[in-house]
């Protein structure tokens, strides 16, 4: 179903998206004066939505809640799904895009959901930082993979083995399709939670999710990370920077970089050689 919300301040839409993502809304369309938020009917909670909007009643107001039939997401998104360029190195394109320039790394993606297409600042930040990481023969965990765009990029950058996990059924299906479209052979896609990675150790962990899920997963992520490993975190608002840094300080990690795009940030952490 789609929830239409009037938003008085355009910049506030990103804050509202982050809050709604924590409530299992899984895709969004931003408009000049309102936000469309999509959620599976089974996950929709009217009281929960009312409680959230009550907190922001001065800047956001519910317009309508409308059930939606199954749709052809390609038709819905094709009209407003431009290709995405990350710096001058990575191109994210759909089959219908006409591309005149070659890029070092190209990812083929069907535009079936709003998140995970590379358009959102968090995905862009993750891909931009991944360009500076040595993935050659590394074991990688894409936690909360969505469309598996980061997992696909990791394999194309040389990763030996990638585990991509997401709790949503649509993400699992779309990830399998996208991995096939990119001829990926070293990605294992699973539907589930972080427990799917139990017993494994990773050189690189990619966690582009949301603040609450990240904070709840820190202890497990620390167990999964090899000595000298790194984690890239995003799905985090800049306003939460101090909270995140405080939480990270409890683990044997060094924050080596924080990048910002709009109201969002990416944090790069490194673990030392000793557990």
Residues in Cβ contact with 140 at an 8 Å cutoff, skipping those fewer than 6 apart: 151, 154, 159, 161, 162, 163, 202, 203, 204, 205, 206
pTM for this prediction: 0.74
> Helix (H, G, I), strand (E, B), or coil: what is residue 21?
helix
Nearest to 206 by CA among 133, 111, 110, 274: 133
Tell me, what's the pLDDT at 114? Answer: 43
By the 10 Å C-beta count (0-12 exposed, 13-18 middle, 19+ buried), 46 is classed as exposed
More confident residue, 183 or 75: 183
pLDDT digits (tens, 9 = 90+) for 186-198: 999 999 999 999 8
pLDDT digits (tens, 9 = 90+) for 24-45: 887 777 888 899 888 888 889 9
CA angle 255, 257, 261 (to 5 degrees): 130
The Cα–Cα gap between 54 and 48 comes to 10
pLDDT digits (tens, 9 = 90+) for 227-264: 999 999 998 888 899 999 999 999 999 999 999 988 88
Residue 185, Ramachandran bin (φ over 0: left; ψ between -120 and 50: alpha; else beta): alpha
112-271 maps to CATH 3.80.10.10:
no
CATH code linked to domain 2-70: 3.30.70
Nearest to 222 by CA among 239, 235, 234, 205: 205
Instruction: Look up residue 122 and give its two tokens.
Output: 């968090």
| Domain limits, the chain | 2-70, 112-271
More confident residue, 98 or 53: 53
Is the predicted pLDDT of residue 67 greater than 50, yes or no?
yes
């Amino acid at each position: 179903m789609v929830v239409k919300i009037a938003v008085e301040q355009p910049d506030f839409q990103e804050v509202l998206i982050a809050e709604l993502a924590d409530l299992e809304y899984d895709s969004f369309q931003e408009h000049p004066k309102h936000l469309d938020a999509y959620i599976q009917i089974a996950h929709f909670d009217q009281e929960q939505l009312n409680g959230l909007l009550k907190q922001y009643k001065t800047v956001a107001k519910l317009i309508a809640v409308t059930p939606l039939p199954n749709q052809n997401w390609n038709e819905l998104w094709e009209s407003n799904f431009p290709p995405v360029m990350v710096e001058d190195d990575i191109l994210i394109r759909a089959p219908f895009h006409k591309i005149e320039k070659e890029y070092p790394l190209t990812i083929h993606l069907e535009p079936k959901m709003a998140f995970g297409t590379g358009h959102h600042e968090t995905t862009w930040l993750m891909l931009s930082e991944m360009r500076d990481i040595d993935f050659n023969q590394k074991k990688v965990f894409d936690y909360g993979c969505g469309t598996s765009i980061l997992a696909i990029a990791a394999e194309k950058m040389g990763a030996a083995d990638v585990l991509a996990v997401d709790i949503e059924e649509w993400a699992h299906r779309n990830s399998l399709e996208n991995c096939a479209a990119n001829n990926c052979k070293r990605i294992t896609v699973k539907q589930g939670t972080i427990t799917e990675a139990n017993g494994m150790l990773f050189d690189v962990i990619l966690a582009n999710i949301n603040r609450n899920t990240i904070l709840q997963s820190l202890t497990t992520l620390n167990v999964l990370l090899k000595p000298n490993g790194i984690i890239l975190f995003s799905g985090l608002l800049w306003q939460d920077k101090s909270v995140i840094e405080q939480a990270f300080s409890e683990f044997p990690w060094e924050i080596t970089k924080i990048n910002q795009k709009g109201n969002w940030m990416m944090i790069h952490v490194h673990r030392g050689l000793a557990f």
